[in-house]
Amino acid sequence: VTALNPTTLPIENGFPLAAALAEQLGETPLLINDAQAAAWAESRLGAGQGTRAMAFITVSTGIGGGLVIDGRVQTGRQGLAGHIGHVVADPAGPQCGCGRRGCIERLASGTALSVIATERLCRPMTAVDVFNTAAAGEAIAQQIIDKAAQLLGRTIVDCVALLDVDRVVIGGGVGLAPGFLALVRSQIALEPLFYHRPLLAAQLGADAGLIGAALLRHDEKFHQKIVVDD
Ligand SMILES: [Zn+2]
């Protein structure tokens, strides 16, 4: 296992997690990214039911994502499919932990809101503080949230352009923070009609990843093929 952004998932590169778990559990584990697993859960039991193609995006400490297309959760060659957090939203933006510059995760995640607000308001601010302060009428905090919603809306439209998903499901503490989804919707509404898709709140909460992994563990059609080397 390797973390794309070691600052959100501190794990040693190439750590043999499957082997370590197999030794502890006495059973071969299924390894899947948490957002991909959550995407599967939402598509089967939550806000993505009935879609042919859906994208799930969790806006939390980082920004994760998963794609379910034609009844299959997409993992890709190296497990990277759906990692929407590392789509570039501002080429001149700050360096991301993954090595790219200006990833949406670095600009609109909970960690990003905290870093940006701490810098602009000159006092320590968590993502929760940013939302509370904005609700209390602090204009700068509201601007920071508006900017994150604007960038995320644009990234979602990029995702629609690329994959023509039927629906986008949003989860995570920031994604489901009061008023945030409405702000993202209003950004998407500014884009051409062709790119509009229903944007729904995730229904399965913090356990979506666990539920998805459990469903996939018992899904005979699911064969994860993560190729490390050719
Ligand atoms: Zn990145």
pLDDT in the model for residue 226: 44
Contacts of 168 (CB under 8 A, 6+ apart): 54, 55, 56, 57, 156, 159, 160, 197, 198, 199, 200
Is residue 89 within 8 Å of 107, Cβ to Cβ? yes
pLDDT in the model for residue 188: 96
Sign of CA dihedral 41, 47, 52, 54: negative
pLDDT in the model for residue 26: 87
pLDDT in the model for residue 227: 43
Is residue 52 within 8 Å of 220, Cβ to Cβ? no
Q: How far is CA 164 from CA 41, 76, 189, 199, in A?
A: 20, 18, 16, 13
Nearest Cα neighbor of 180 from 204, 148, 132 is 148
Low-confidence ranges of the chain (pLDDT < 50): 224-230
* CA–CA separation, 188 and 149 (whole Å): 10
pLDDT in the model for residue 223: 56
Predicted TM-score (pTM) of the model is 0.90
Q: What is the CA(103)–ligand 1 centre distance, in A? A: 5
pLDDT in the model for residue 36: 96
Q: What is the CA(82)–ligand 1 centre distance, in A? A: 13
Ligand 1 ion: Cβ-proximal residues, 5 Å cutoff: 86, 96, 98, 100, 103
Q: At what angle do helices 110-121 and 139-163 cross, to 10 degrees?
A: 150
Q: Are strands 199-201 and 72-73 parallel, antiparallel or unpaired?
A: unpaired
